[in-house]
Chains A and B, each alone.
Chain A
Amino acid sequence: MAYTPQFYPGSTSVGINRRKHMSGNVEKLRDIPEADVVAIMGHRAPGADYSSTHPPLKEMGEPDCPIRQAVEPTPGAAAGDRVRYSQWTDSMYFAPSIPYFRSYWGAINCKGCDPGTLSGRQIIEARERDIEKYTKTQYDSEMTDVALCSMRGCTVHGHSLRLEENGMQFDMLARTELGNDGNVLGVKDQVGIPLDKKVNLGKPMSEAEAKKRTTIFRFDGVPMSGTVGARKPDEAVEMTHHMWELRTKWGYRPE
Chain B
Amino acid sequence: MAVKHTKKLFVKALNKKFGKDFDLASQKVEYKRLGPEQNARKREFMEYAKKLEGKRGMTGYNPYVHAGGIPLGQRQLVPYKLSSTEYVVEGDDLHFVNNPAMQQFWDDIRRTIVVGLDMAHEVLQKRLGKEVTPETINNYLEILNHAMPGAAVVQEHMVETHPGLVDDCNVRVFSGDDALADEIDDQYKIDINKMFPAEQAEVLKAAIGKTTWQAIHVPTIVVRTCDGGTTSRWSAMQLCMTFIDAYNMCAGEAAVADLAYAAKHAAVLQMSDMLPARRARGPNNPGGISFGFMADMVQTSRVKPQDPAYVSLNVVAAGSMFYDQIWLGSYMSGGVGFTQYATAAYTNDVLDDFCYYGVDYANDKYGGFAKAPAAIDVAKDCATEVTLYGIEQYEAFPTLLEDHFGGSQRAAVLAAASGITSAIATGHSQIGLAAWYLSMLLHKEAWGRLGFFGYDLQDQCGPTNVFSYQSDEGNPLELRGANYPNYAMNVGHQGEYAGITSAAHAGRMDAFAVNPLIKVCFANPGLVFDWTNIRDCFGKGGAREFRAAGERSLVMPAV
B395 adjacent to A99 (CB under 8 Å): no
Q: Decide yes or no whether B437 CB sits under 8 A from chain A.
A: yes
Interface residues of A in 112-128 (CB under 8 A from B): 116-120
Asked, given contacts A170-B31, A231-B388, A251-B468, whether A99 binds B463 with beta carbons under 8 Å apart, the answer is: no
- Output the nearest chain A residue to B398 by Cβ-Cβ distance: A162
Asked, given contacts A119-B406, A172-B70, A228-B389, whether A162 binds B468 with beta carbons under 8 Å apart, the answer is: no
Asked, given contacts A161-B402, A228-B389, A231-B388, whether A219 binds B468 with beta carbons under 8 Å apart, the answer is: no
Range of interface residues on A (Cβ < 8 Å): 35 or more
Asked, given contacts A162-B29, A225-B388, whether A118 binds B447 with beta carbons under 8 Å apart, the answer is: no
Q: Decide yes or no whether B396 CB sits under 8 A from chain A.
A: yes
Q: Decide yes or no whether B444 CB sits under 8 A from chain A.
A: yes
Interface residues of A in 204-236 (CB under 8 A from B): 215-220, 223-225, 227-228, 231, 236
Q: Decide yes or no whether A181 CB sits under 8 A from chain B.
A: no
Interface residues of A in 155-177 (CB under 8 A from B): 155, 157, 159-165, 167, 170, 172-173
Residues on B with beta carbons closer than 8 Å to the beta carbon of A216:
446-448
Mostly helix, strand, loop or mixed at chain B's interface? helix
The segment from B288-296, B449-457, B539-547 found at the interface with A is B449-457
Interface residues of B in 384-430 (CB under 8 A from A): 384-385, 388-389, 391-392, 395-396, 398-399, 401-402, 404, 406-408, 410-411
A155, A165, A236, A240 — most chain B CB neighbours (10 Å): A240
B67 adjacent to A155 (CB under 8 Å): yes
A247 adjacent to B464 (CB under 8 Å): yes
What total count of A-B pairs have CB within 8 Å? 158
Q: How far is the CB of A254 from chain B (nearest CB, A)?
A: 4
Residues on B with beta carbons closer than 8 Å to the beta carbon of A253:
469
A244 adjacent to B438 (CB under 8 Å): yes
- Output the nearest chain A residue to B408 by Cβ-Cβ distance: A119
B376 adjacent to A162 (CB under 8 Å): no
Q: How far is the CB of A37 from chain B (nearest CB, A)?
A: 22
Residues on A with beta carbons closer than 8 Å to the beta carbon of B450:
117, 119
Q: Decide yes or no whether A44 CB sits under 8 A from chain B.
A: no
Asked, given contacts A163-B28, A241-B384, A248-B437, whether A92 binds B468 with beta carbons under 8 Å apart, the answer is: no
- Output the nearest chain A residue to B29 by Cβ-Cβ distance: A162
Q: Decide yes or no whether A245 CB sits under 8 A from chain B.
A: yes
A98 adjacent to B447 (CB under 8 Å): yes
B446 adjacent to A160 (CB under 8 Å): no
Residues on A with beta carbons closer than 8 Å to the beta carbon of B456:
117
Q: Decide yes or no whether A237 CB sits under 8 A from chain B.
A: yes
Q: Decide yes or no whether A106 CB sits under 8 A from chain B.
A: no
Residues on B with beta carbons closer than 8 Å to the beta carbon of A220:
395-396
Tell me the complex Cα distance, A215–B456, Å: 20
Tell me the complex Cα distance, A146–B337, Å: 29
Residues on A with beta carbons closer than 8 Å to the beta carbon of B465:
251
B28 adjacent to A162 (CB under 8 Å): yes
Asked, given contacts A101-B448, A248-B466, whether A241 binds B380 with beta carbons under 8 Å apart, the answer is: yes
A237 adjacent to B31 (CB under 8 Å): no
- Output the nearest chain B residue to A253 by Cβ-Cβ distance: B469
Q: Decide yes or no whether B68 CB sits under 8 A from chain A.
A: yes
Interface residues of B in 432-449 (CB under 8 A from A): 434, 437-438, 441-442, 444-449
A244 adjacent to B29 (CB under 8 Å): no
7 A-B pairs with the lowest CB-CB distances in the bound complex, closest first = A119-B407, A251-B464, A98-B448, A247-B463, A252-B467, A254-B469, A100-B448
B residues with a Cβ closer than 8 A to A are: 26-31, 67-68, 70, 74-75, 376, 380, 384-385, 388-389, 391-392, 395-396, 398-399, 401-402, 404, 406-408, 410-411, 434, 437-438, 441-442, 444-453, 456, 461, 463-469
Given contacts A231-B388, A245-B376, 16 further A-B contacts (CB under 8 A): A18-B448, A101-B448, A162-B27, A163-B27, A164-B31, A165-B29, A172-B75, A215-B448, A220-B395, A228-B389, A247-B461, A247-B464, A248-B466, A249-B376, A250-B464, A251-B466
